Amino acid sequence: MSSRVSLTRYLVEQQRLHALIPANLRLLLEVVARACKSICQAVNKGALGGVLGTAHSENVQGEIQKQLDIIANEVLIEANEWGGHLAAMASEEMDGIYVVPNRYPQGEYLLLFDPLDGSSNVDVNVSIGTIFSVLKKPEGSAGVSESDFLQPGRQQVAAGYCVYGPQTTLVLTVGDGVAVFTLDREQGSFTLTQENVQIPPDTHEFAINMSNMRHWDTPVKRYIDECLAGSDGPRGKDFNMRWIASMVADVHRILTRGGVFMYPWDKREPDKPGKLRLMYEANPMSWLVEQAGGAATDARTRILDIVPGKLHERVSVVLGSKNEVERITSYHARL
Ligand code: AHG
Ligand code: MN
Ligand code: MN
């Protein structure tokens, strides 16, 4: 008898033991995991599947879409629209919300996703992923509209990501810590490989796109300068740098061995609060990081407390090892 725990068993036990997962949320998470397996197959085929390259179209953010951005978006919609668990979906790749069509029953959940995170890495065979966030539709509202989605991240009922790398790994929280599942390609199922993930509070590793240095705000520059000064500087220790340019892969490293990830506001586009999107990138990642004992702020306030004003709102992100995030946030507070 194998003692391996599948994603299904994990979810059933969470439902039974902790009453954290109603049946429809369990269905939703299983469907998202199934969609991630399909996306994984498309990613793995690469040039053989004709999925590389750009799609010659733009999304609502004005970014050129990759073919895989569109494929992953379609896979997630087709997998999720018919099950009766969702009222609507929202995605980085769609301007407005996608309401579940009338021919299917309407559920009580709202699903948000970044179908393919790290698009610039698709063609160069570097880890990419899918990020998702689940909210409950507010009670009493008839139908469903964009305003139903505009809830702070602390109201998420589930969040996670799947990283398509040397291993395909699904990382999930339903508010009871962080669990990691690895895709067993022979069995075709996600198997629990780590529970109760903990991010060490201290680190000597930071992740930031250094090419933007000249555009940074003073506190960010101060923090990185102090790291770069190493054992000769005020921190008294040497730091290492990593930047994969796929948030999923950078956050996965931080959940695995600690570190701090930053995509701060900068002077390139001063009217935008940051590059990353609050509702389907920063919120799910921030909840995972907090559930693993880390912290996440927009350099001033807790990300999960931000009330979104619009679906595709952007935000500055500082997340990871708690003491480091608090240090960076305190540098901003003194301004
Ligand atoms: P996406 O591919 O979904 O648009 O997200 C890319 C994001 C994020 O994954 C990554 O951390 C960051 O953009 C990389 O930005 P730079 O290219 O500016 O380094
Ligand atoms: Mn992304
Ligand atoms: Mn994306």
Kindly identify the ligand whose nearest atom is closest to the C-alpha of 211.
1
Question: Residue 267: its pLDDT value, please?
Answer: 96
**Ligand 1 centre from 228 Cα, in Å?**
23
Whether 119 maps to a domain, the answer reads: yes
* Position 77 confidence tier, pLDDT thresholds 50, 70, 90: very high
pLDDT tens sequence across 154-201:
999 999 999 999 999 999 999 999 999 999 999 999 999 999 999 999
Question: Residue 302: its pLDDT value, please?
Answer: 98
| Residue where a domain stops, chosen among 136, 163, 194 | 194
Q: Give tens-digit pLDDT for 289-329.
A: 999 999 999 999 999 999 999 999 999 999 999 999 999 99
Domain match, 80 and 47 both: yes
CA of residue 292 to ligand 3 center, whole Å: 24
In a domain, 165, yes or no: yes
Kindly state whether residues 236 and 281 are assigned to the same domain.
Answer: yes
My answer on whether 71 and 215 are in the same domain is no
Whether 131 contacts 249, CB under 8 Å: no
271 shares a domain with 235: yes
Kindly report the CATH number assigned to the domain that includes residue 151. 3.30.540.10
State the DSSP string of 227-247.
HHHGGGSTT-S--EE---S-H
- Cα(140)–Cα(138) distance, integer angstroms: 7
Q: What is the CATH number of the domain that holds 241?
A: 3.40.190.80
The string of pLDDT tens digits covering residues 245-276 is: 999 999 999 999 999 999 999 999 999 999 99
Is 129 a residue whose pLDDT tops 60? yes
Cβ atoms of 263 and 317 closer than 8 Å: yes
pTM of the predicted structure, to 2 decimals:
0.97
Residue 200 lies in a domain: no
The residue out of 194, 221, 241 marking a domain boundary is 194
Which residues, in sequence order, are CB contacts of 27 under 8 Å at separation 6+?
A: 83, 85
91 and 174 together in one domain: yes
Residues 125 and 237 in one domain: no
CB–CB of 91/76 below 8 Å? yes
Q: Are residue 155 and residue 42 in the same domain, yes or no?
A: yes
Q: Is residue 133 part of a domain?
A: yes
Closest protein CA for atom 18 of ligand 1:
209
* Interatomic CA distance for residues 192 and 6, integer angstroms: 6
Q: Let me know whether 214 and 163 are in one domain.
A: no
> Are 185 and 242 found together in one domain?
no
Range of the domain at 186: 7-194
Domain's final residue, options 149, 166, 194 = 194
One domain, residues 85 and 211: no
Tallying the residues shown for the chain, one arrives at 335
Alpha-carbon torsion 101, 107, 111, 116, what sign?
A: negative
**Is 199 contained in some domain?**
no
| pLDDT tens digits for range 199-237 | 999 999 999 999 999 999 999 999 999 999 999 999 999
Query: How far does the centroid of ligand 1 lie from the alpha carbon of residue 328, in Å?
Result: 21
- pLDDT tens figures, 14-72: 988 878 899 999 999 999 999 999 999 999 999 998 888 888 888 888 888 889 999 99
Residue 2, in any domain of the structure? no
Single-letter code of the amino acid located at 159: A
Ligand 1 atom with the smallest distance to the CA of 116 is 3
Express as a percent the part of the chain with pLDDT over 70.
Answer: 99
Residue 255 included in any domain: yes
How far from each other are the two terminal CA atoms of the chain, in whole angstroms?
Answer: 60
Same domain, 278 and 182: no
- Residues near ligand 1 with C-beta < 6 Å? 63, 92, 114, 117-120, 209, 245-247, 263, 275
Note whether residue 1 is domain-resident. Answer: no
How many structural domains are present in the chain? 2
Domain co-membership, 182 together with 289:
no
